[in-house]
């Protein structure tokens, strides 16, 4: 079987991670299908059954990408004569003469947590994704009748209110290393950890306000570790800005920290699931995705995403209760292999 995968848009961040992990899943499974990846650069290595075709000019602008999806792409893809066409970049492609599947992992158009404004400088790009690109996604889904793959039940519900396409849920794979980090037996300070980018909806400001609240009350026996560049903020001594780190280092923090997760827009929120493997205490904003992912987890408390006082109170609880860190580092009940993956959803064309 020949499968064409379109991910021309991927070049960095989460999109590139999705591409690379899907590629590694193909290679590690010894899949024998013929694969053709449409990319903008050689992010992947060609093998006997995996080939790369470059379309670097399509990546240069949204106009060129839309031109490809609406007009040029169908002809190019049909010339490759695939049995399945799989788009990893949220959008369907017009004119495809075979089964089309789209991996939809952009939550902005489908969430109800915030209505972004075109007229605010720090929100205008997000507003375009929410209000313009969302309508375009829906239009392309309706016109192509593409099968849609999403990561969560909340996304399936939200998308199904807008289109009638077939929708399948495939949660992202959670990779836990064979050699797990040790939990430190004694720490001088309680550590709160938040692995996230600087996007507005990651909501770092509620953490900054909560920390100010605690410091003003005289509580300073803690540190907050953030994976963003340093900021000019009050009480800088309470923070450790570490920038991007390796996954192994992330896992080490899960094993020895309390996870803060104030983000209020995610398709899935992978750190939430990853942290459960380490029995890490979690303080998360109360959202559709967090409630779904953590519904059976016993070491989580939720707070209103804008309420820094509530967050400060929950952080204070852990300052008084350092013995609340579970003794077991890894949650054995979560180590079962995930049965439904992107690869088998595509190759088996599962219902």
User: Is it the case that residue 283 has pLDDT exceeding 50?
Assistant: yes
Q: Percent of the chain beyond pLDDT 90?
A: 77
Summarised one tens digit per residue, pLDDT across range 212-260 is 999 999 999 999 999 999 999 999 999 999 999 988 899 999 999 999 9
Mean pLDDT over residues 187-201, rounded?
92
From the number of C-beta atoms within 10 Å of its C-beta (0-12, 13-18, 19+), residue 304 rates as middle
CB 291 within 8 A of CB 314: no
3-state secondary structure of 111: coil
- pLDDT beyond 60 at 50: yes
Higher pLDDT, 16 or 80: 80
Q: Which residue has the higher pLDDT, 350 or 114?
A: 114
Whether residue 351 has pLDDT greater than 50: no
pLDDT at 334 over 90: no
8-state DSSP, 335: -
pLDDT at 350: 44
Q: What's the pLDDT at 16?
A: 86
Tokens for 67, please give them: 């031109």
Q: CA angle, corner 198, sides to 115 and 63, nearest 5? A: 65
Give the predicted TM-score (pTM) of the model.
0.90
Q: Per-residue pLDDT averaged across 277-301, rounded?
A: 96
Confidence of residue 336 (pLDDT cuts 50, 70, 90): very low
Share of the chain above pLDDT 70, in %: 91
Q: Each residue of 251-280: b (16+ CB within 10 Å) or e?
A: bbbbbbbbbbbbbbbbbbbbbbbbbbbbbb
Q: Tell me the three state secondary structure of residue 285.
A: strand
CB contact at 8 A, 189 and 221: yes
Average pLDDT value over all residues in the chain = 91
> How sure is the predictor about 139, in pLDDT bands with cuts at 50, 70 and 90?
very high
Reading the block at residue 203, the tokens are 């909501």
The residue-averaged pLDDT of 139-158 equals 97
The span from the CA of 110 to the CA of 269, in Å, is: 15
| Start-end of CATH 3.40.50.2000 domains in the chain | 2-173+338-347, 190-334
> 70-84: per-residue pLDDT in tens?
888 999 999 999 999
Q: CATH for 190-334?
A: 3.40.50.2000
Bridge partners of 241, per DSSP, are 226
Q: Tell me the backbone φ, ψ of residue 57, rounded to 5 degrees.
A: -70, -25
3-state secondary structure of 72: helix
* Residue ranges of E strands in the chain: 2-6, 34-39, 50-54, 84-87, 99-103, 147-150, 167-169, 190-194, 222-226, 239-241, 258-261, 282-285, 300-303
Check residue 57 and give its pLDDT. Answer: 83
User: Is pLDDT of 184 > 80?
Assistant: no
Task: Classify domain 2-173+338-347 at the CATH topology level.
Answer: Rossmann fold (3.40.50)
Say what the pLDDT of residue 218 is.
Answer: 96
Q: What is the mean pLDDT of residues 114-127?
A: 95
Q: Are strands 147-150 and 50-54 parallel, antiparallel or unpaired?
A: unpaired
What pairing do the DSSP bridges indicate for beta strands 34-39 and 190-194? Answer: unpaired
Q: Which helix (H) or strand (E) holds 309?
A: helix 308-320
pLDDT score for 185? 59
Query: Strand 300-303's sheet: what is its strand order?
Result: 239-241, 222-226, 190-194, 258-261, 282-285, 300-303
Q: Which helix (H) or strand (E) holds 214?
A: helix 204-216
Instruction: Tell me which DSSP letter residue 180 carries.
Output: P
The predicted model gives 300-305 an average pLDDT of: 98
pLDDT at 175: 78
């Amino acid at each position: 079987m020949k499968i064409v995968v379109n991910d021309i848009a991927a070049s960095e961040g989460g999109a590139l991670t999705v591409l690379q992990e899907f590629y590694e899943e193909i290679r590690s499974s010894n899949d024998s299908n013929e694969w053709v990846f449409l990319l903008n650069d050689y992010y992947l290595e060609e093998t006997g059954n995996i080939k790369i075709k470059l379309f670097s000019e399509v990546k240069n602008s949204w106009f060129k990408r839309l031109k490809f999806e609406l007009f040029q792409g169908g002809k190019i893809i049909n010339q490759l004569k695939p049995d399945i066409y799989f788009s990893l970049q949220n959008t369907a492609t017009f004119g495809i003469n075979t089964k089309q599947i789209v991996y939809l992992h952009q939550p902005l158009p489908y969430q109800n947590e915030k209505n972004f404004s075109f007229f605010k400088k720090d929100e205008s790009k997000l507003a375009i994704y929410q209000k313009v690109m969302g309508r375009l996604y829906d239009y392309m889904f309706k016109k192509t009748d593409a099968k849609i793959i999403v990561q969560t039940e909340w996304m399936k519900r939200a998308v199904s209110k807008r289109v009638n396409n077939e929708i399948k849920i495939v949660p992202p794979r959670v990779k836990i290393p064979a050699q797990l980090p040790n939990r430190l037996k004694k720490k001088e300070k309680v550590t709160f950890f938040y692995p996230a980018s600087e996007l507005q909806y990651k909501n770092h400001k509620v953490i900054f306000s909560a920390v100010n609240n605690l410091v003003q009350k005289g509580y300073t026996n803690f540190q907050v570790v953030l994976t963003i560049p340093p900021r000019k903020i009050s009480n800088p001594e309470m923070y450790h800005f570490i920038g991007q780190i390796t996954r192994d280092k992330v896992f080490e923090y899960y094993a020895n920290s309390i996870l803060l997760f104030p983000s209020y827009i995610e398709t899935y929120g992978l750190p939430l699931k990853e942290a459960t493997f380490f029995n890490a205490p979690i303080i998360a904003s109360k959202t559709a995705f967090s409630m779904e992912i953590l519904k059976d987890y016993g070491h989580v408390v939720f707070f209103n995403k804008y309420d820094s006082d509530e967050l400060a109170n929950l952080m204070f609880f852990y300052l008084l209760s350092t013995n609340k860190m579970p003794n077991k580092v890894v949650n054995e009940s979560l180590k079962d292999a995930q049965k439904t993956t992107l690869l088998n959803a595509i190759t088996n064309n599962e219902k």
